[in-house]
Amino acid sequence: MPYGSQPASGAPYGAQPAAPFPGQPGYPGPAPYAPTPPPSGGKSKGLIVGLAAGAVTLTLLCCGGGLAYVAFNGDEEDPTPAASGSATPGPDGSPSATPSTSGPESGGPDGPSNNNSLTARYASEMSAVCDGGAILNAAPYTAPAGSKAYVFSNSPDRPSSWSQKTISSAKPYYARSADFATVSVIGCLKMVEGSEGAPKKCQYKNSEDKVVTVDYISSRYTLTFHAAQTGEKVGDGGTVTAPAARCPSFISYNKVTMKSYASPDSGTIEAALDRFLK
């Protein structure tokens, strides 16, 4: 059989033909290029969908006006803000993150003195003042007159959960939710322990169209005023009642205890604000 691509004759018997040089006929060409396949061991990351489960409060329509059942979902959780910063070269030339300096600085003799200080992103976060905190980006408090105010209250079922009370937009101290940074006064309503009155029995229909009896309970609250930026107490609003003389058209109640606590009286809250912020 001929060797490589050399002719079958022309070489002496028994002599091996010289190996071809590169470029000559019979010299094997380069191996065909085979691209390296992409790594196939890694798994593609899946998208994780989180279901934000808002607390569902049972709300019923009073039997006096046509019995019905309504369920309201709680507010969604505040979105988590992304940290900001800029890339600057490090000592070895590699980029390193430099924190943004747009926010309030902490530490030092002029820094916040309250360890529970925070920068509010929403009006609801200003309730931290009622838990002993302070709001770094709130308006500074100088005097009651001309101040903007928010009022929050807790409940026996959730003493560390605060709900914002409604204030008439006609009041000079009213501030919209979007204008929370203009607020300098926070009113805190805390229920007086042991002030609950005799429950009023109120009947409603639940989701299964069955009549249920809810204990509607009155109580009293103490109202105190605090400087939003420092948390310091600046005034006392006295006692505010939470009357439960009549069954409300709509009610939120604890499904286990079958109890519902009346809210502080809005008119009494505004009267206390009028006296302090005049």
> Which range (76-80, 144-148, 179-183) has the least confidence?
76-80
**Interval 114-134 mean pLDDT:** 95
**pLDDT the model gives residue 55:** 38
| AA identity, residue 82 | A
Is 50 exceeded by the pLDDT of residue 66?
Answer: no
According to the model, what pLDDT value does residue 114 have?
83
For the CA atoms of 15, 19, 20, 21, the dihedral, rounded to the nearest 10 degrees, stands at: -140
| Cβ(154)–Cβ(191) below 8 Å | yes
User: Does residue 278 contact residue 144 with C-beta atoms inside 8 Å?
Assistant: yes
pLDDT in tens, 221-268: 999 999 999 999 999 999 999 999 999 998 999 999 999 999 999 999
Quote the pLDDT of residue 110: 55
Contacts 24+ apart (CB under 8 A), 196-204: 196/156, 196/261, 197/244, 199/244, 199/259, 200/244, 200/245, 200/246, 200/247, 202/62, 202/247, 202/248, 202/251, 202/260, 203/63, 203/247, 204/60, 204/61, 204/62, 204/63, 204/67, 204/69, 204/251
Residue 111 confidence (pLDDT):
60
The secondary element (H helix, E strand) that includes residue 29 is none
Q: pLDDT tens digit string along 22-54?
A: 555 554 555 444 444 444 444 444 433 333 333
Which two tokens mark 154? 């807790």
Of 169, 144, 164, the residue nearest 154 (C-alpha): 164
Q: Within 10 A of 188 (CB to CB), how many other CB atoms are there?
A: 22
Q: What pLDDT was estimated at residue 159? A: 79
**Residue the block writes with tokens 């009346």:** 262
Predicted local confidence at residue 105, as pLDDT: 40
User: Please, which pLDDT band fits residue 7 given cuts at 50, 70 and 90?
Assistant: very low
Q: How confident is the model at residue 57 (pLDDT cuts 50, 70, 90)?
A: very low
Q: What is the pLDDT of residue 50?
A: 39
Q: Is the pLDDT confidence value at 151 over 80?
A: yes
71 contacts 61 by C-beta, under 8 angstroms:
no
Q: What is the pLDDT of residues 80-112, one digit of tens each?
A: 444 334 344 444 444 444 443 333 343 434 566
Name the residue with higher pLDDT: 258 or 57.
Answer: 258
> Measured between alpha carbons, how far is 166 from 128 in angstroms, rounded to an integer?
18
Q: Give the list of residues 6+ apart from residue 190 with CB closer than 8 angstroms, or none.
A: 130, 153, 154, 221, 222, 224
- Give the pLDDT of residue 235: 97
Could you report the per-residue pLDDT of 155-207, keeping only the tens digit for each? 888 878 899 999 999 999 999 999 999 999 999 999 999 999 999 999 999 88
The pLDDT of residue 240: 96
Distance CA 87, CA 171 (A): 47
DSSP conformation letters of 85-153: EEEEE-TTS-EEEEE-SSSPP--STTS-S-TTEE--SSGGGGGGGGGT-EETTSPPP--STT-EEEEEE
